[in-house]
Structure formats: structure tokens, C-alpha cells
Structure 1
Amino acid sequence: MQNAVILINTQQGQVKPVAERLAEVDGISEVYSTCGRYDLVAIARTRDFESLAELVTGKLNAVEGVSDTETLNAMQVHSRHDLESMFSLGW
């Protein structure tokens, strides 16, 4: 499984509509509106790196209202929770 945190800026006045559109994209498990440098944070969970690349470059950047993204690819998880079972995609 490939996990990533995607930091997103939107066009002015587009935070809520973009968040709602992103939440419908396969591979995006959560979308948070935030305060600060970025408007939204999306959590991506995909089968492999190629699927993540397609999600970010093909699907996410095509969402109307997205102006800029920065993807942080997760390398290791540091948690007491069994995140793999909590967010399993069933593959």
C-alpha cells in the first residue's frame, strides 16, 4: 500500500467545493480543510506508487478549483494503531 499526504491550495472561494469533489475521488480517503499555508490536506491510500502517481497527476490536478499541490509520500508509519487494518483497501 502507498500512502501520501497531499497539501492543496484552491482558487479563491473554492475550498468547500474542491474538498467535496476531492472526497469523491477514488484513492482519497479523507480531506481536511485547514488554516495556514494550505487550504486543504488530502490523505491518499493507493495500491502502489504507479496508482498514486496517476491519482495525483491525472485525477487530483484535474479537479476544478485546484491551483497547487504538494505531495508528501509516506515512507514509514509511526503509530500505536494498526493503520493497515484500519484503512485497508481489501487488496
Structure 2
Amino acid sequence: MQTIFIMIKCDLGKAYSVADELVQDVEQVSEVHSTSGQYDLLVKCYLKDGADIGHFVNEKIQTLSGIKDTFTLIAFKAFS
């Protein structure tokens, strides 16, 4: 599995509806957190090994209503 984090900037007043849609409709989404600062949401996703991250973000995330901008981070290793 590949882990990616996507920071999302939403249209004004749309963060809660975007978060709800991400959790309900995008099966790869594991967690959605509201954040302060430049971005409104932080989304943790698990993708199958070899999945095309660019296509996933472009087709499954950026096309959702209320999303204005995204910034994607690829995680290499989780520590606990």
C-alpha cells in the first residue's frame, strides 16, 4: 500500500461538505482532518501499490465540488 496525504483548499464555506463527501464517496480515503493555516483539510489516503497517484488526485479528488486547490505529499515510511 502507498500512503499519501493531500492538503486541500476549499471554496469559502465548503470545507465540511467537502470533508463529508471525501469520507463517504472516496474509498481510498482513510481520514480527513480540518486544519488551520493555508489549507482547510488534510486527507490521508491509502492507494494500492503501483496505483497512479497523479490520476487518483486529478480524477477522484480535484473533481469534487468545492475544492479550489490541492497539495499532495507522498509518505515513505510510518514510524510508531
TM-score, length of structure 2 as denominator length: 0.89
Structure with greater contact order relative to length (CA < 8 Å, sep ≥ 6): 2
SS of corresponding position for 2:57? helix
Show the counterpart of 1:84. none
Tell me, which stretches of 5 or more residues in structure 1 are unaligned?
81-91
Cα distance change, pair 41–4 in 1 and its aligned pair in 2 (3 A): same
Q: 1:37 is paired with a residue of what secondary structure?
A: coil
Any runs of at least 4 consecutive aligned residues in structure 1 with deviations exceeding 2 A, and if so which? 48-55
Structure showing the higher strand proportion among its residues: 2
Q: Percent identity?
A: 34
Where in structure 2 are there 5+ consecutive unaligned residues?
none
Aligned residues: 79
| TM value normalised by structure 1 | 0.79
Superposed CA offset, 1:17-58 (max 9, x none)? 001011121111110111111100000101124253332111
